[in-house]
Structure 1
Amino acid sequence: MTAAHPAELHRRGQPLTGLYPGWEMGQRISGPAGMDILILQHPRTKEEAYWWLSPDGEILACHALALRGTWQEALVKTLDPVLQPLSASLLDGAAPLPSEDDLLNEPLPLLRALPAPARLQLVTLWFQTARAAMHVISLTALLEHENESPFPPAFIQKLFRTRLAGPHSLACSPFNGDIIRTELTITLEQGIACRFTDPQEELTFYLFWPHGDEGNTSPETIPPIFYLPKASLLVGEGLFTPLVPTFLLSWFIGTPHCVEELKQARPFTLEDYGVGHASALWDNLSSPKKTTERGKAGQILSSFPFSSLLWGQAAFLRPLGETPFTPLEDEIHNKPTQKRAQKPYQPRKKKRKKGRKRRS
């Protein structure tokens, strides 16, 4: 027995006359590029599915990633002019924050009106088509190739020991070991993410804690996933790891008020940690200040080695079978630490205290 369905829906020229048992047709919503999204609901299981339709009722696909040909090209062409600057400013932190007018440009209002899962499908399609390919590795693999990694091992290990501590969590910068304060805490259906920006390197990164099996985040047991947009790098394990960028970008699209919160974000100060613990905090995490040089165009050249061949030729980012790569020497990791020569310890001679002579 199947549920009745409107005859105007068709696929490959054949009218659709029914649905699987238990499924019902829901709302039909206008989407970008002239497409419609039909919401299908299962009242007993509370599940939802989404069909992508042409204006005349042709069922194009049951998932945005399954769209092909001209429809996929039209979607990417429509989304790209808006999502490129939005991802550069909110996701990557490489451009100034958008204004309110920027957030009202089409097709952003259409994307916000969609259910979150349907919006996530579109963002994932655009991300896979228009953005650079992601480098996804585990923390173990990163530490095994520490000579080729741009992160000092001690700093990256401390970063992965970060635990959630309210809306303003603290973390160790993977670039220089400094303590930085989260700019934004993002609550998602799949987990919780924190947005950080290193003020010295001017680089934005994220830590994402996925929900456990029961839908609860366990910061004490679940290690975070590290996402660095500048390098298209994801460090972590689990099925959610490659999807973290699309989770974040979809949330930014649906939460325009986050721009104001980012504008009010302030850097870390010792008062955030507590005066009584300040000295212990900096004992192991402080690092010497690094000098920066200015390029011909006047821009500041970061000491973080994105311009080197580490990302393109490192063993864990290279297809199997290629010639092993000898890592370039980098001043951040390979420069020997100069220690002051210490004189041998010599005990001081105790001086006798001069006292008054007793009279006989």
Structure 2
Amino acid sequence: MTVGLPPSLHRGGQPLTRLYPGWQASARYRAPADGLDVLSLHHTETGQEACWWLSSDDEILACHALALDSHWNGQIMEAIGPALQQFCAALLSGETPLPDDGTGLHDSLVPLTSLPSVAQFQLLGLWFQAAVGTRLRLLSPASLPDDDGIRPDTPTAPFAPGRLRHLLDTQPVGPHTMTTSPFSGRMLRAELTMPTEKGVACRFSDEEDGQTFYLFWYTPTGRKAPPKDRKPLFYHPATRLLLGDSPFLPLVPVFLLSWFISNPHCVEELRHAHPFRLEDYGVGRASALWEEFIPATPAPAAEKQEEAGQNRTSFPFSSELWVRSSIFRAGQAAGLPGRERWKKSPPQNHEKTTDAGHENHDES
């Protein structure tokens, strides 16, 4: 008999005395329903995990929470449903304000968090399917209309298809991940970077519209980061819209919920998150932008000190590629003179001087 396997374990009146080769029973837990237990199992070679749902008298009821009958489903939903609904509204969708005490929100889910991760994930999937699953809108990027107008009768409503296509070009770069809002078009910075079991997700909020959404990059097994050509999956909780090409698309909300539950510190991170600001990346200091293109004369130590909250090496504003592609193009579109044109024909009030209090823009 496998180590840890309950001696009285049975199914359909037949005793179960052994498991498939390589599998072992790890531990037994109380499930969030009276008379229901969870038996966790693992494979000694692959590390794969599984769980069985047992009655108090050791009968195997199901090998997955989704296979439990309506009696047990009802008891589980009654036990964890209200806490998950509150948790979802505050963290996943951002519909309600963050709680003053983040630990209190997580404490209400102790019956769930005390279970092994595989059992937690199954119960989250069970709850999400019952609460939201039948109303999810799954959309493939290939089905986006060519018309960029916003109409109530389109599958992408309330989003403009063009903005969604642009959103799917976003690449993950950790805490510096930025994208454009599908609501207002403004630049947004990730509030949270969330490494999950199947990939990495970023949480964004557009304060102008009061909307929260997620981008999720699926990472194949064995890779530490998603492929560079991988398009993200888009999830907007308020409209239950999931956009992307992946068999895991319907599970993205469950991956996110699982991460939120396992990371209580996220409440404090969200409380201190602030909107995207150019000054956080050193923009506004012309000399810092030009240093990548021309040799700079060593400046006094006082002039080299960085302003608080600014990082001249932060992604993406100190990169030569960003400067060339964004600042230069924006200047040309606005009719501003380029650097060469400035040198050849400077404005009348631009004097070549090195006096104190003036900056010499011309090369000697």
| Residue in structure 1 matched with residue 144 of structure 2 by the alignment | 142
Q: Mapping of 1:193-232 within 5 angstroms?
A: 193-218=201-226, 220-232=228-240
Question: How many angstroms does 1:42 deviate by?
Answer: 1.9
1:164 counterpart residue number: 172
2:71 is equivalent to residue 53 of structure 1: no
Q: How does 1:1-360 map to 2 (within 5 A)?
A: 3=2, 5-34=5-34, 35-98=36-99, 99-100=101-102, 102-106=104-108, 108-131=109-132, 133-144=135-146, 146-147=148-149, 148=154, 149=156, 150-218=158-226, 220-275=228-283, 276=289, 280=326
Cα distance in structure 2, aligned partners of 1:121 and 1:58: 19
Q: Distance in 2 between matches of 1:6 and 1:100?
A: 38
Distance 2:211 2:327 in 1: 23
**What is the identity, as a one-letter code, of the residue corresponding to 1:280?**
S
Q: Secondary structure at the match of 1:230?
A: coil
Gaps of 5+ in 2: 284-288, 290-316, 318-322, 331-364
- The alpha carbon displacement at 1:183 in A equals 0.6
1:82 aligned partner, one-letter code:
A
In the TM superposition, what is the alpha-carbon distance from 1:219 to its structure 2 partner? 5.2
- Bigger RCO of structures 1 and 2 (CA < 8 A, at least 6 apart): 1
Letter in 2 for 1:14: Q
Q: Deviations over 1:39-65 (max 9, x none)?
A: 112212222210011222121110111
SS at the partner of 1:205?
Answer: strand
User: Comparing 130-139 with 223-232, which one deviates more in the overlay?
Assistant: 130-139
TM-score relative to the length of structure 1: 0.73
Please report how far the alpha carbon of residue 158 of structure 1 lies from its aligned counterpart in structure 2 after TM superposition. 2.0
Which deviates further from its counterpart, 24-33 or 215-224? 215-224
What's the CA shift string for 1:94-137, capped at 9, x where partnerless? 1011323532544x123222222221110000000122521011
Q: Deviation per CA, 1:124-171, whole angstroms, max 9, x where unpaired?
A: 000001225210111121234655233223322221111112213111
Q: Is the 8 A contact 2:199 2:226 kept in 1?
A: no
CA pair 170-273 structure 1, distance change in 2 beyond 3 A: farther
When the two chains are superposed, the root-mean-square deviation of aligned CA atoms in Å is 2.3
* Distance in 2 of aligned mates of 1:104 and 1:163: 31
Provide the secondary structure at the position in 1 that maps to 2:33: helix
In structure 2, the residue matched to 1:323 is none
Cα contact 1:127–1:246 (8 A) shared by 2: yes
Consecutive unaligned residues in structure 1, runs of 5 or more: 285-360
Q: 1:207 offset after TM fit, Å?
A: 0.3
Letter in 2 for 1:224: P
Alignment check: 8 A CA contact 2:198 2:220 kept = no
Instruction: Kindly provide the amino acid, as one letter, of the partner of residue 22 in structure 2.
Output: G
Pair 17,163 (structure 1): closer, same or farther in 2 beyond 3 Å: same
User: Which string of whole-angstrom CA distances, capped at 9 and with x for unpartnered residues, describes residues 296-319 of structure 1?
Assistant: xxxxxxxxxxxxxxxxxxxxxxxx
Relative distance call for 1:182 and 1:101 in structure 2 (3 A) is closer
Contact kept? 1:82, 1:105, Cα under 8 Å: no
Q: Give the C-alpha shift of residue 37 in structure 1.
A: 1.0
Quickly say closer, same or farther: Cα 1:190–1:104, change in 2 above 3 A. closer
Q: Distance in 2 between matches of 1:14 and 1:94?
A: 49
> Is the Cα–Cα contact under 8 Å of residues 3 and 20 in structure 1 kept in the other structure?
no
User: 1:22 Cα deviation (Å)?
Assistant: 2.5
- TM-score, length-scaled by structure 2: 0.72
**Alpha-carbon distance between aligned partners in 2 of 1:58 and 1:116, rounded to the nearest angstrom:** 22
Kindly tell me the number of residue pairs found equivalent between the two proteins: 282
Q: What CA distance in whole angstroms lies between the structure 1 residues aligned with 2:40 and 2:51?
A: 5
The 1:26–1:261 alpha-carbon spacing in structure 2 relative to 1, beyond 3 Å, is same
Find the aligned partners of 1:89 and 1:205 in 2 and give their Cα distance.
13
Using the TM superposition, give the Cα deviation of residue 273 of structure 1 relative to its aligned residue in structure 2, in angstroms. 4.7
Which amino acid counterpart does residue 140 of structure 1 have in structure 2?
A
SS at match of 2:144: helix
> CA contact under 8 A between 1:168 and 1:184: conserved in structure 2?
no
1:211-247 Cα deviation digits (max 9, x unpaired) = 0353232352101000000000000011111100000
Cα separation, partners in 2 of 1:45 and 1:135, compared to 1, 3 Å: same
2:168 and 2:328 mapped to 1: Cα distance? 18
What whole-Å deviation, never above 9, does each CA across 1:304-346 have from its counterpart, x for those lacking one? xxxxxxxxxxxxxxxxxxxxxxxxxxxxxxxxxxxxxxxxxxx
Counterpart of 2:205 in 1: which secondary structure?
A: strand
Residues 75, 283 of structure 1: alpha-carbon distance in 2 compared, 3 angstrom cutoff: farther
Amino acid at match of 1:111: L
Are the structure 2 counterparts of residues 203 and 157 from structure 1 closer, same or farther at C-alpha, using a change threshold of 3 Å? same
Name the CA shift for 1:24/1:229 in 2 (closer, same or farther; >3 Å).
Answer: same
